[in-house]
Amino acid sequence: MEDTMTNSSQNFWLLNKYGLLAVSLASAVSVNASVQKSIEGISADSCISIQTGLNNTVTFGADKTYSFPTKKNFRDRYKRIAQSEWFEKTHSGMSIGEIITIEE
């Protein structure tokens, strides 16, 4: 099982995806347990560690370590922008301007 997981890029991306999701949701320093529980098809006893920071490190088993950059989550910021007084004043009921259609 460990070899299969280590060599499987599909599982790696699955882990990557869920790992990022867990990191962005929890903003936790260590999310080992939640990641292990949330990933279907990956053995719970396999060694997985994720660290937050500028780079995430994912370890499969004892000898495989992958690093990938953490992506900033801009959704919260844009949610705040949309709820701000400034946004209401700037965009509410405003026209997007004269619409000139271009055929290409």
Partner 1 sequence: MWVSEPSKQITQGTIVDGVDWGRGENNPLSIVISNACDLENGKSNFLLVAALESAADVLQETKEFRDKVKDANKNKELTQKQWKSFENFLLNYIHNKNICRHFFFDPRPTIDMDCLVVDFQQIKSVEMDFVPSLSIEGQMNHPFVEQLMMRFTSYTSRIPVGRVNSEMENIYIQELAQGFKPKE
Q: For partner 1, which stretch binds (CB under 8 A), given 30-38, 42-50, 57-65, 66-74? A: 66-74
Query: Which is nearer to partner 1, 1 or 79 (by Cβ)?
Result: 79
Say how many residues make up the chain.
104
> Phi and psi dihedrals of 36, rounded to 5?
-65, -40
Query: Which is nearer to partner 1, 9 or 44 (by Cβ)?
Result: 9
66 binds partner 1 (CB under 8 A): no
Residue 94 CA to residue 89 CA, distance in Å, equals 9
Q: Could you tell me the smallest distance in angstroms from the CB atom of residue 99 to partner 1?
A: 5
